Amino acid sequence: MNDALLESMPENIQDLISDFEFLDSWEDRYMHVIDMGKSLPPLEPALKTDATKVKGCVSQVWLVSERSGEENPVLKFKGDSDAHIVKGLVAVVLEIFSGRHASEILKLEARSILEKLGLSEHLSPQRSNGLQAMVARIKAEAESLV
């Protein structure tokens, strides 16, 4: 990702990328992802349903959204997982997408952001697929509202 593209991103994504760039090793990044997951509030058990479950994830992942506004609504997401590293990946995805207008969500290049975080090359194929499934679910929801 070039510097101009990075600078055009929302500030919280720039901060997220800076945090990951500061960490030297994959183990440090891995621990940071897990810590991000620990900071996520648990999803209420009543929200952990088949309808909120993300298909395509080996671990169980649930994503729930709230929207505000009629035209081009702002989407806020909550999520959870039964696995520590995956819950951390949920936290990363929420940091990227939550609290944005649907049209803004559609413009964000998640693949580029995740590559810049150094996640793409270090995750197992199953976790990468699950991460892409989370992104696809969020993008599909945004698409349905634009």
Query: Active-site residue 90, yes or no?
Result: no
Domain boundaries, the chain: 3-145
Q: Which of 109, 101, 89 is nearest to 34 (CA)?
A: 89
| Residue 63 backbone phi and psi in degrees, to 5 | -130, 135
Per-residue pLDDT of 89-119, as tens digits, reads 999 999 999 999 999 999 999 888 988 888 7
The catalytic position among 9, 57, 92, 102 is 57
Fold of 3-145: Sufe protein. Chain: A (3.90.1010)
Per-residue pLDDT of 52-74, as tens digits, reads 999 987 889 999 999 998 888 99
- pTM for this prediction: 0.91
Asked if 20 contacts 32 with a C-beta cutoff of 8 angstroms, the reply is yes
Q: Which of 108, 94, 98 is nearest to 68 (CA)?
A: 98
